[in-house]
Amino acid sequence: MNLHDKISTGLKAFDQVIDYLRYGDNVVWQVDSLPGYKEMVSYFIGAAENQNMRLVYIRFANHEPILGSRKDINIYHVDA
């Protein structure tokens, strides 16, 4: 793993616009609807699985979980 390696979001056009993600990047989304965010997350999960990446989901919101219980994703609940 190199900090300069490019990581796909799962959306090729978006990757080109932002020049991909890099290890250590923090991604913050402001969304108007949960379904739109959930769709974006599903693209990222698919890309991460294709790249054999380890996924960590830090959850601190009050809404229903975006991800169901999955053995391949480490989920941490934070009481914000």
Specify the higher pLDDT residue, 72 or 3: 72
State the Cα–Cα distance between residues 9 and 42, nearest whole angstrom.
Answer: 10
State the Cα–Cα distance between residues 56 and 71, nearest whole angstrom.
Answer: 11
Q: Which amino acid is at 40?
A: M
Has residue 8 got a pLDDT over 80? yes
Q: 13-65, pLDDT tens digit by residue?
A: 999 999 999 988 888 878 888 888 888 889 999 998 898 888 888 888 888 88
Has residue 75 got a pLDDT over 90? no
Confidence at residue 31, expressed as pLDDT on a 0 to 100 scale: 83
Query: DSSP E strands: which ranges in the chain?
Result: 6-7, 21-22, 55-59, 73-77
* pTM tops 0.85: no
State the Cα–Cα distance between residues 21 and 31, nearest whole angstrom.
Answer: 19
